[in-house]
Amino acid sequence: MQLLLPEARALDAQDLLHLYDPGEAPGVRAGFVLSTDGAIAQDGSSRPLQSAADEAVFHALRAVSDAVLVGAGTARTEDYGPVRPRPDGQAWRAQRALPEQPPLVLVSRSLDLDPAARCFTGPSVVVTCAAARGGDRFPDVLVAGEDEVDLPEAVRQLRERGLTRLLCEGGPQLLTAMLQAGLVDELCLTHTPRLLGPAPGLLTVPLTRELELQHLVDGGDGVLLARYRIS
């Protein structure tokens, strides 16, 4: 992998961790892979769009985060498991006295989640609203909002727990809601050189935000990985 901007140099796994290290400041990132024409899934899954470079950055982003946020629907569709950093990520976390695994934070208004699902075989937090029923089925539930999940309140409570550097992995409904609430500071996108035509996109409603490019990585085979600051 090659860093193209802001400077040109080769990257290894350790370089990626340093490149994506968010520092100590609280913040929310979103990480997505998408086709050249903006699709985030093929046949309902993002896996056909993934590549070795995307996977490397996917793991780096997780390793340097305090927690990974995902919507319940995405967790079901993608068959999410617990967040398990690779050995280099584990070493990076150990050097900073961070827990071995960042918890998976599942956002669900209805609590339509299976407690026996793979996503609950590691550290996890379920974020829901007061109107939801069945919260006692899960070991750790955070209630934010009355009839809908109050995302700013959820982020506030997560930060109170020390989970200040958050990575949102989707889906588009959760990303759109977080952008509308002004919660997302950075957007990390893998651009896969493929056209898919009509398919789910990154956002679910019209939304305008200015992006400032922070770095650009050549992942090989036409794959470009960009990190943007959201104005």
| pLDDT on residue 170 | 85
**41 — alpha (psi -120 to 50), left (phi > 0) or beta?**
beta
Q: Is the pLDDT of residue 206 over 90?
A: yes
Assigned token pair, 217: 């990585």
| pLDDT on residue 110 | 95
Q: Is the pLDDT of residue 231 over 90?
A: no
Query: What pTM did the predictor assign?
Result: 0.95
Q: Is the pLDDT of residue 50 over 90?
A: yes
| pLDDT on residue 45 | 84
| pLDDT on residue 191 | 97
Q: Which residue has the higher pLDDT, 138 or 199?
A: 138
- 210-229 residue pLDDT tens: 999 999 999 999 999 999 99
Q: What is the mean pLDDT of residues 33-58?
A: 92
What is d(CA 51, CA 17) in angstroms, rounded to the nearest whole number? 18
What confidence category does residue 39 fall into, taking pLDDT thresholds of 50, 70 and 90? Answer: very high
Domain boundaries of the chain, sorted by first residue: 27-194+209-220
First CA to last CA distance, the chain = 28
Q: Is the pLDDT of residue 101 over 90?
A: yes
CATH fold of the domain at 27-194+209-220? Dihydrofolate Reductase, subunit A (3.40.430)
Q: Which residue has the higher pLDDT, 44 or 20?
A: 20
Identify the H or E element spanning 52: helix 52-63
- 144-162 residue pLDDT tens: 999 999 999 999 999 999 9
| pLDDT on residue 160 | 97
What is d(CA 49, CA 35) in angstroms, rounded to the nearest whole number? 7
